Amino acid sequence: MKNGNRRRSEDYKELDRLLLGADEALEKEDLHGANEALKKANVKAASMWGEVGRPALPGHTRRLVGLIWEVQEDLSRAERHNPDGLRQSLRELRSRFEIEARRDAEMANLQRKR
């Protein structure tokens, strides 16, 4: 794994749980709850791919940071936008992390067989 980090299936499950929590908050139009869940997901993702203070984030993890900014921008507006676009972005992120989880599992299986 990059930077010596070993991402386990439990890490991906926790990350997905946090992203699902953000999605559920957006479904309820709870931008504050979504913001907090996304921040926690970002910390989890950074710990999975980087070192403390020096994350080596893949593109979809950087997209997670962008999504946090989008939610925070909506929070700062008097007139909030429909969260459907944010939820779609979140679903795409969850899908990309799921693909990454499968890749990591395949790599771990290959390394064990060697």
How many other C-beta atoms can be found within 10 angstroms of the C-beta atom of residue 32?
10
Q: Residue 56 and residue 52: Cα distance in Å, rounded?
A: 10
Q: Residue 46 and residue 31: Cα distance in Å, rounded?
A: 22
Domain range for 39 is 2-113
Global pTM reads: 0.75
Q: For residue range 8-61, list pLDDT tens digits in order.
A: 889 999 999 999 999 999 999 888 899 999 999 988 988 887 655 555 556 666
Q: Residue 8 and residue 12: Cα distance in Å, rounded?
A: 7
Number of domains in the chain: 1
Identify the DSSP state of 7.
Answer: -
Do the Cβ atoms of 83 and 26 come closer than 8 Å?
yes
Q: For residue range 94-106, list pLDDT tens digits in order.
A: 888 888 889 888 8
